[in-house]
Chains A and B, each alone.
Chain A
Amino acid sequence: MNQSSPGPDPDSGPDPDSGRGPAPVLALQGVSKSFGAVRALRDVSLRLFPGEAHALAGENGAGKSTLIKALAGVHRPDSGEVRLDGDPVVFHGPADARDAGIAVIYQEPTLFPDLSIAENIFMGRQPRRGGGRIDHRAVRATTAGLMRRLGVDLAPDRPARGLSIADQQIVEIAKALSFDARVLIMDEPTAALTGSETARLFSVVRALRAEGAAVLFVSHRLDEIFELCQRVTTLRDGRWVSSEPLEGLTEDDLVRRMVGRDLDGLYPKQDAEVGDVALSVHRLTREGVFHDVSFDVRRGEIVALAGLVGAGRTEVAQAVFGVDRPDAGEVKVAGAVLRPGSPTAAMAAGLALVPEDRRQRGLVMEMSIERNIGLTGLGSIRRRGLISRALEHDRAADWAVRLQLKYNRLADSVGVLSGGNQQKVVLAKWLATGPSVLIVDEPTRGIDVGTKAEVHRLLSALAADGLAVLMISSDLPEVLGMADRVLVMHEGRLAAEIPRAEATEESVMAAATGRTERSAA
Chain B
Amino acid sequence: MSTAPDTQKAPASRVRGPGLRWDTAVGVLLVAVLVVGLAGTEGFGSRENLAFAFNDIAEVALIALPMTLLVVAGQVDLSVASMLGLGSALTGALWEAGWAFETIVPVVLLVGVAGGLLNGWLVTRVGLPSLAVTIGTLALYRGLASVALGSDAVTDFPQAYADWAVDTTTVPGTFLTYPVLLFVVLAAVTAVVLHATGLGRSLFAIGSQEEAAYFSGVRVKRIKLLLFVVTGLFSAFAGVVFTLRYGSARADNGLGFEMLVIASVLLGGVDFDGGKGTLFGAVAGVLLIGVLKNLLTLNDVAGEVQVIVTGLLLVASVLTPRVVAGVVERRHRRAARTP
Q: A78 — which chain B residues lie within 8 A by C-beta?
A: 333, 336-337
When A37-B16, A365-B209, A386-B192 are in contact, do A371 and B5 touch as well, CB less than 8 Å? no
CB distance from A479 to the nearest CB of B (A): 24
CB distance from B279 to the nearest CB of A (A): 15
Residue among A344, A355, A365, A405 with the highest chain B CB neighbour number at 10 A: A344
B213 within 8 A of partner (CB): yes
B160 within 8 A of partner (CB): no
Q: A37 — which chain B residues lie within 8 A by C-beta?
A: 8-10, 12-13, 15-16
A296 within 8 A of partner (CB): no
Q: Do most interface residues of chain B lie in helix, strand or loop, or is the interface mixed?
A: helix
Q: B9 — which chain A residues lie within 8 A by C-beta?
A: 37, 408-409
Is A361 within 8 A of B215, CB to CB?
yes
- Closest partner residue, chain B, to A79 (CB atom): B337
CB distance from A191 to the nearest CB of B (A): 19
CB distance from A412 to the nearest CB of B (A): 10
When A36-B13, A37-B13, A371-B201 are in contact, do A1 and B209 touch as well, CB less than 8 Å? no
- Closest partner residue, chain B, to A39 (CB atom): B10
Name the contact of B198 in the complex, choosing from A366, A387, A429 (C-beta under 8 A): A387
CB distance from A113 to the nearest CB of B (A): 12
For B, the interface residue count at a CB cutoff of 8 angstroms equals: 38
A25 within 8 A of partner (CB): no
CB distance from A211 to the nearest CB of B (A): 40
Is B209 within 8 A of A408, CB to CB?
no
Is A366 within 8 A of B209, CB to CB?
yes
Bound together, the chains give a CA A335 to CA B13 distance in angstroms of 52
Q: A382 — which chain B residues lie within 8 A by C-beta?
A: 198
CB distance from A427 to the nearest CB of B (A): 13
When A37-B13, A364-B209, A367-B204 are in contact, do A450 and B1 touch as well, CB less than 8 Å? yes
B197 within 8 A of partner (CB): yes
Q: B336 — which chain A residues lie within 8 A by C-beta?
A: 1, 34, 78
Q: B47 — which chain A residues lie within 8 A by C-beta?
A: none
Task: Count contacts between A and B, CB distance < 8 Å.
Answer: 116
Residue among B9, B215, B217, B339 with the highest chain A CB neighbour number at 10 A: B217
For A, the interface residue count at a CB cutoff of 8 angstroms equals: 50
- Closest partner residue, chain B, to A450 (CB atom): B1
Bound together, the chains give a CA A320 to CA B2 distance in angstroms of 37
Is A386 within 8 A of B218, CB to CB?
no
Name the contact of A343 in the complex, choosing from B15, B215, B339 (C-beta under 8 A): B215
Q: Which of A9-17, A241-249, A372-380 lines the interface with chain B?
A: A372-380
* Interface mask (B202-234 → A, CB under 8 Å = 1, otherwise 0): 101100110111111111000000000000000
Bound together, the chains give a CA A366 to CA B275 distance in angstroms of 8
Is A378 within 8 A of B13, CB to CB?
no
Is B217 within 8 A of A347, CB to CB?
yes
CB distance from A76 to the nearest CB of B (A): 10
Is B1 within 8 A of A378, CB to CB?
no
A259 within 8 A of partner (CB): yes
Q: Other than the known A363-B209, A405-B3, A408-B9, what 7 A-B pairs have Cβ atoms closer than 8 Å?
A: A79-B337, A360-B209, A363-B212, A378-B198, A386-B196, A404-B1, A429-B216
**Subset of 6 A-B contacts with CB under 8 Å:** A36-B16, A361-B212, A371-B205, A385-B197, A401-B3, A408-B8
9 closest A-B pairs by beta carbon, nearest first, are: A378-B198, A37-B13, A366-B208, A386-B196, A347-B217, A364-B209, A361-B215, A37-B10, A375-B216
